[in-house]
């Protein structure tokens, strides 16, 4: 979310969670907007399905999903063979200084 845009929006609307069903390819689901706070990640298709434990560093293990804010993606354990997921998250902020 562009920081200046929030000045013109209702804060409640700006913080409404994004709810998406994503295709997972090569264990990664990519989103087009920055990831802020993550509320839920659920693997819906794969050898391991259901809610995922969130991790933010390292390589995810079975039942986990790594939130990679830098690259705007959710990364699943290779062993889980996830091909589809449902995510709920708040939009983050772009670094305007980059």
Question: For the segment 30-64, what is each residue's pLDDT rounded down to a tens digit?
Answer: 999 999 999 999 999 999 999 999 999 999 999 99
Q: What angle do CA 32, 60, 28 make, to 5 degrees?
A: 30
Read off the pLDDT of each residue in 60-88 and give the average, rounded to a whole number.
97
DSSP string computed for 25-48? BTTEEE-SS-EEEEEEEEEEESSS
Read off the pLDDT of each residue in 77-90 and give the average, rounded to a whole number.
97
DSSP 8-class letter at 79: G
């Amino acid at each position: 979310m562009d920081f200046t845009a929030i000045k013109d929006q209702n804060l409640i609307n700006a913080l409404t969670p994004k709810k998406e069903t994503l295709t997972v390819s090569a264990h990664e689901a990519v989103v087009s907007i920055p990831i802020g706070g993550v509320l839920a990640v659920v693997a819906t298709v794969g050898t391991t399905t259901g809610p995922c434990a969130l991790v933010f560093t390292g390589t995810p293990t079975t039942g986990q999903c790594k939130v990679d804010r830098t690259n705007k993606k959710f990364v699943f354990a290779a062993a889980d063979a996830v091909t589809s997921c449902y995510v709920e998250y708040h939009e983050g902020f772009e670094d305007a200084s980059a």
